[in-house]
Structure 1
Amino acid sequence: MQTFIVVNNPDDWLFDIDGVEVLSAWEYLTNPYYSKLKGVQLFNLCRSYMYQSYGYYVSLLASSRGHKPLPTVMTMQDLATPGLLRVATPELDHLIQKTLESLQPDTFTLSIYFGRNFAKRYDKLCRHLYRLFEAPFVRANFERIAGRWHLTHIAPISANNVPEDHREFIALSAQEYFSKRRQSLPRRSKYRYDLAILHDPDDPMPPSDPKAIAKFIKAANALGIATEMITKDDYNRLSEFDMLFIRETTHVNHHTYQFARRAESEGLVTIDDPQSILRCTNKVYLAELLQTNRVPTPHTVIVHRGNLDNVEEELDYPMILKQPDSSFSQGVKKVNTPKEYRTVALQMLETSALLIAQEFIPTTFDWRIGVFDHQPLYVCKYYMAAKHWQIIKSDSNGKAQVGRFEAIAVEHAPPKVIKMALKACDLIGDGFYGVDIKQVDNKLYLIEVNDNPNIDAGVEDSIEKDELYSRIMRIMLRRVERRKEQRY
C-alpha cells in the first residue's frame, strides 16, 4: 500500500519520512496519475477541512477513488459539529476526569499528533480522542466547570500551523507511526485479503474462547484470508484490513461501536455492523420492534418515571427488570415484591431514561439459534444454572457458574423455532445474530436478538465442528469479493 501526505504546499511539511511521499493538494486533485492508483493510504494535512475547501475535496475524492483518507469526510463533519462534543461516552468522561484531575488551571489545551502528546500521562486520553476524531493533527480544549472537566472544542491543526517547539516531537512521532504501519502490513502473498479480529485479552467471558478463535483463524487462512488479532489500541490500523470481525462484547457507548462505525466507513466488511449493534444492544428498541411486527414475546412494559407506579397493574410478581443495554445476564434482575421492584427500578433509571419490565416465564432451558446472512448456522439448548433462573449465575465475587448445554442439528430443531428466529433477524439486518427463545408447551416467546453471539469450542460447534467456522468465513469472503467487484 502506497502512503501519501497531502498538504497545500509541500514546503509546509518539514520532515523526511522513509517510504512516505509528500505532495500538494492541487497535484493530488488534478493529476490523473493519482486518480488511477490503487491501494493508497492518504494523510490529509491541508490547512482547512471546511466544506468545499481543498482539504475537503482531497478526502472526498480519495474515497471515491477507493483510496483510504485520514481524516475521512465523515470525521471532518464530526469535527465541525459542536453538538457532538456534548455526547461524551461514560468511558471518555471517566478518562477526562481521571487524566486532568490534578491540573490547577481551569482550562487546558491538548495537542495530539498521530494519537500522541509530549507527556506520556496523556497517552490514553490522546488515543481515545484519536479513535473518536481520527485526524493526523488535532488540538483539544478542555474547561473545568463546577468541578468537572468538559471537552469544549476540538479542531484539526494544519501542517503549517504546528508550533516550532513541537516539530522535533512530531518528527519522532511520525517516523514511529509510519514505521509501525509498515511493519504491521501483511506481506504473505498467498493471502488475498486481510481480516482483523477485535478482542479483549483480559475479558473473563469473551464471545469466543481461544480454541474457537484458533479455529476461525484456521478457517480464514484456508480461504486465502490472512488474520490478525487486534485490540482497542489498534483503531488507527483499520485501513490496513479488508474485514473486521468483532469478538468482544459490544456496546454503543464503547470502542467496539467506534471500531464498527469506522470500519464500515472505510469500506471494510464489518461483523458486527454498527446498525446491528445499535439495534441489538438496546432492549427498549427490540421490545418495540418485536411488538410492532407481531413477534410473540413475554408480556412487556417499557418503564419510565412517569409510569413507575402503574406497572404492577399489568405484570404480576415475580417480574423481570432489564437495563436496556444489559448483556450476559448482567443488568437483568428478578424482583419478587413491590419494595424490591421499586428499589431496583429506581437504580436502573439513574442510568437510563427507560427500562424493560417483563413477565417472568420459568423454563429449564432457552433455545439459542445462530443466524448469519439470513441462514441458520447452529442450534443449542442453554440450560439454566443449577438452582437459578438464568443461564449464568454470578456470585458476590464475580465468579460465574454456567448451565449445561445441548447442541442440536439445525435440521432436527423444531421448524417453528427456526422460523421465528429467522423472522426476528430479518427485522434487524443481515449480520451475525444469536436468537434466544423460550418454549412453554407449544408456545414460543422470543426473548431477544443478540449481535456478537457466542461461539465457543465444544459448545455451539458441537454438531458442525470446523465447518461452522468455515461457513462464517465463507460468508465474509463472499461479501468482501462482492464489494471489490462493485468498487472496481
Structure 2
Amino acid sequence: MKTLIVTDQKQDWPFETAGAAVLTARRYFEEPESGFEGSVRVLNLCRTGRYQGRGYYVSLLAEARGQRPLPEARTVEDLKSQACVQALSVQVEPLVHETLHHDESERFELDVYFGQDPAQRHQAIAEQLFANVRAPLLRALFGRAAGRWRLDAVQAIGLADIPAQHRAFLLEATKEFLAEGSSAARPPSGDRRPRLAILRNPDEPHKPSNEQALQRLVRAAPLVGLEAELIGPDALDRLPEFDALFNRASPEVSGVVYEFVRRAEALGMPVVDDPRSILKCLNKVYMHELMSRHRIAQPHTLIVHRGNLDQVVPTLGLPCVLKLPDSGFGLDVVKIESEDALQHEAERFFQVSELIVAQEWLPTGFDWRVGVYDGRPLFVAKYFMAPGHWKVNQVTAGQRLIEGRTEAMAVGEAPAQVIAMAVRAANLIGRGLYGVDLKQVEDRVYLIEVNCNPNLDAGNEDQVLGEALYREVLGVFARRIAERRGGTAVPSTA
C-alpha cells in the first residue's frame, strides 16, 4: 500500500520518510489522480479544526478518491461533538483512574503521536485513545475533580502544533506506524412492534417534507409492521426508545441533526440519513471528485482556491456558476456574469471554505430529480425553474422560498439514461435515500449533484405512487430492523 503524508506547509515535514511521499495540502488538491493509482493511505497531518478548512478537505477528498485517510472526515467532525467525547471518556475512565498520576496541577495534557506518548509515561492511555480515535496526532485534556481524573476534551492537532523537542520522536513514531503492516448492537426488544422515530423541525423555513407527507408516513407505518412517531430536535435523549431513525429535518454537519444521526448509528439502529451520506452529499467538492473518478458526466467544473481563481473565466467563460460546497436549496449558488462579480462572490465564499466550485452555465427549462432508495429508483420528477428565475428554488430576501412546479412521472416513462446515471451516482454514496439532480441538454445528460434528505412532499414527489411511496420508504426500515434482530420480527406485507 502506498502512503502519502500531507502537510499544511512544505517545511512542516523536512524529513526523508522511507515508504511515503510527502505533499502539501495545496499540491494534494491539484495533483492528478493518476499519480496515486492503486491502494493509497493518506496520513493527514494538517490542522483539521476548521470545518471546510484545508485539513478537512484533505480527508474528504481522500475518501472521494478511493483512498484511506487518517483521520477520516467523520472522525474530524465527531471530535467536535461533546456527546462523542463523553462516550470516549466513559470508555477510557478505568484505565485513566488506574494509570494517570500527575500531582503538579488539576489539569493534564497528553499528546499522542500515532498511539505513542512522547513523554513515555502514559503509553497505555495513548494506545487506547489512538485505538478509539483514529487520528495521527491527538491532544487529550484531562481534569481532576474529587480526586479522580476524567477526560474533558480530545483534539486532532496538526504538525504546526507539535513542539520542536517532539519532532524527532514523532518521526520515529511515524516510521513505526508505517512499518506495521464497534458499536454494540442494541438488545432485542421482544415481540413488540418496532418503533421508528421521524425527526422533523417545525421551525425550519425550508422543510424537506410538508405536514401532509409526515402524517402519511405515520399512517403508513402499521401497514409494514412499524409504529412511527414524529419527534423534534429536543428529543435527542429519547433516541434509545426507538429501533430506527428517519431524518426529515435539514442536516448540517455541525448541527443538532447530525448529532441525532451520529448517535442513532452509535446505538446500532438503521438510520436515514446516515452520517457518512451527510458528509458526502453536503460537500460539492467531494461530489465532483467522486463522480469524476467514476467517469460520470458533469458540467465542466473547476475546483477553485485562491491560487487559481484567475483560471475560472478562461476555463468556463461567462456566465458561469459559483457554488459554496455545502450550499442547499440553491442558497449560495450564484450566477457570475462579470469578473468583478467573480472576485466579490469568491472572496465571500473563501471566508467560509478553503475550496469552492465553479461550473459552466447550462440553462435548461427543468432539472430531472430521481429519488433513489436502497439502491433502486423510487420516483422521478421534473423540477421546473422558479417563475422568472434560473434556479428551481428562489429564496427571497425575506427567506421566502419560491419553487417551480413539480411534474412527477412513472420511472418507466423517464429516459433510460437519466435513471441509469441517477442510480449509479447514488449507489456511489451509499444505500440511503437520495435525490439525484441531473440536467439534460439535447441527448446528453449531466449529473449536477446527489442530495441526501431529498424532498418527499405530498402533492409533488408522490404524484404517481401516492400512498405506496410512503409504504416503500417505511418497508426498507422494517426490513433493516428485522435483519438487525436476526429475523425475529418480520414486517407485515399487508
Amino acid at match of 2:213: A
For residues 388-420 of structure 1, the C-alpha deviation after alignment (integer angstroms, 9 at most, x for no partner) is 100111222222211111111111111111001
For residues 426-481 of structure 1, the C-alpha deviation after alignment (integer angstroms, 9 at most, x for no partner) is 11111110000001111101000000110000100000000000001111111111
Query: Does the Cα contact within 8 Å between 1:199 and 1:246 map onto a contact in 2?
Result: yes
Query: What's the secondary structure of 2:482's corresponding residue?
Result: helix
- Residue of structure 2 in register with 1:249 after alignment: 250
Amino acid at match of 1:366: D
**Separation in structure 2 between the aligned mates of residue 380 and residue 243 of structure 1, nearest angstrom:** 28
Q: TM-score, normalised by structure 2?
A: 0.63
Gap change, CA 1:190 and 1:220, over 3 Å in 2: farther
Q: Report the alpha carbon displacement of residue 189 of structure 1 after superposing the two structures with TM.
A: 9.8
Query: Does the Cα contact within 8 Å between 1:191 and 1:225 map onto a contact in 2?
Result: no
Could you tell me the percent identity over the aligned residues? Answer: 41
Query: What's the secondary structure of 1:424's corresponding residue?
Result: helix
- Residue of structure 2 in register with 1:263 after alignment: 264
Query: Does the Cα contact within 8 Å between 1:131 and 1:235 map onto a contact in 2?
Result: no
**Separation in structure 1 between the aligned mates of residue 143 and residue 200 of structure 2, nearest angstrom:** 30
**Separation in structure 2 between the aligned mates of residue 154 and residue 258 of structure 1, nearest angstrom:** 22
- Residue of structure 1 in register with 2:341 after alignment: 340
Query: Does the Cα contact within 8 Å between 2:369 and 2:383 map onto a contact in 1?
Result: yes
For residues 293-350 of structure 1, the C-alpha deviation after alignment (integer angstroms, 9 at most, x for no partner) is 1101100000001111122221111110110001110111111000001100111011
Gap change, CA 1:88 and 1:221, over 3 Å in 2: farther
Query: What's the secondary structure of 2:476's corresponding residue?
Result: helix
Query: What's the secondary structure of 1:444's corresponding residue?
Result: strand
Query: Does the Cα contact within 8 Å between 1:190 and 1:224 map onto a contact in 2?
Result: no
Query: Does the Cα contact within 8 Å between 2:225 and 2:478 map onto a contact in 1?
Result: no
For residues 257-296 of structure 1, the C-alpha deviation after alignment (integer angstroms, 9 at most, x for no partner) is 2221211111110001111111111000000111111101
For residues 227-279 of structure 1, the C-alpha deviation after alignment (integer angstroms, 9 at most, x for no partner) is 22222222222222110100011121222222212111111100011111111
- Residue of structure 2 in register with 1:372 after alignment: 373
**Separation in structure 2 between the aligned mates of residue 136 and residue 194 of structure 1, nearest angstrom:** 30
**Separation in structure 2 between the aligned mates of residue 154 and residue 236 of structure 1, nearest angstrom:** 26
- Residue of structure 2 in register with 1:393 after alignment: 394
Query: Does the Cα contact within 8 Å between 1:247 and 1:452 map onto a contact in 2?
Result: yes
Gap change, CA 1:238 and 1:336, over 3 Å in 2: same
Aligned residue among 86, 90, 98 for 1:133: 86
How do 1:2-13 and structure 2 match up within 5 A? none
- Residue of structure 2 in register with 1:324 after alignment: 325
Amino acid at match of 1:377: L
Aligned-pair Cα RMSD in Å: 3.3
- Residue of structure 1 in register with 2:360 after alignment: 359
**Separation in structure 2 between the aligned mates of residue 385 and residue 86 of structure 1, nearest angstrom:** 38
**Separation in structure 1 between the aligned mates of residue 90 and residue 266 of structure 2, nearest angstrom:** 20
How do 1:83-102 and structure 2 match up within 5 A? 87=49
**Separation in structure 2 between the aligned mates of residue 356 and residue 192 of structure 1, nearest angstrom:** 46
Q: Is 1:417 equivalent to 2:418 in the alignment?
A: yes
**Separation in structure 1 between the aligned mates of residue 335 and residue 201 of structure 2, nearest angstrom:** 30
Query: Does the Cα contact within 8 Å between 2:379 and 2:411 map onto a contact in 1?
Result: yes
Query: What's the secondary structure of 2:387's corresponding residue?
Result: coil
**Separation in structure 2 between the aligned mates of residue 244 and residue 383 of structure 1, nearest angstrom:** 31
Query: What's the secondary structure of 2:454's corresponding residue?
Result: coil
Q: Is 1:433 equivalent to 2:386 in the alignment?
A: no
**Separation in structure 1 between the aligned mates of residue 377 and residue 211 of structure 2, nearest angstrom:** 24
Q: Report the alpha carbon displacement of residue 133 of structure 1 after superposing the two structures with TM.
A: 3.3
Q: Report the alpha carbon displacement of residue 222 of structure 1 after superposing the two structures with TM.
A: 2.3
Gap change, CA 1:226 and 1:385, over 3 Å in 2: same
Gap change, CA 1:345 and 1:204, over 3 Å in 2: same
**Separation in structure 1 between the aligned mates of residue 262 and residue 85 of structure 2, nearest angstrom:** 10
- Residue of structure 2 in register with 1:208 after alignment: 209
- Residue of structure 1 in register with 2:383 after alignment: 382
Query: Does the Cα contact within 8 Å between 2:319 and 2:336 map onto a contact in 1?
Result: yes
Query: Does the Cα contact within 8 Å between 2:482 and 2:488 map onto a contact in 1?
Result: no
Amino acid at match of 1:319: C
Amino acid at match of 1:261: R
For residues 140-172 of structure 1, the C-alpha deviation after alignment (integer angstroms, 9 at most, x for no partner) is 99xxxxxxxxxx98769899969xxxxxxxxxx
Give the paired residue count: 337
Structure 1 residue runs of 5 or longer lacking an equivalent are: 1-82, 91-127, 142-151, 163-187
Q: Is 1:279 equivalent to 2:280 in the alignment?
A: yes
**Separation in structure 2 between the aligned mates of residue 223 and residue 318 of structure 1, nearest angstrom:** 50
Query: Does the Cα contact within 8 Å between 1:315 and 1:359 map onto a contact in 2?
Result: yes
**Separation in structure 2 between the aligned mates of residue 308 and residue 88 of structure 1, nearest angstrom:** 22
**Separation in structure 1 between the aligned mates of residue 456 and residue 431 of structure 2, nearest angstrom:** 18
For residues 174-198 of structure 1, the C-alpha deviation after alignment (integer angstroms, 9 at most, x for no partner) is xxxxxxxxxxxxxx99951011111
Q: Is 1:295 equivalent to 2:325 in the alignment?
A: no
Q: Report the alpha carbon displacement of residue 424 of structure 1 after superposing the two structures with TM.
A: 0.4
Gap change, CA 1:378 and 1:484, over 3 Å in 2: same
Amino acid at match of 2:381: C
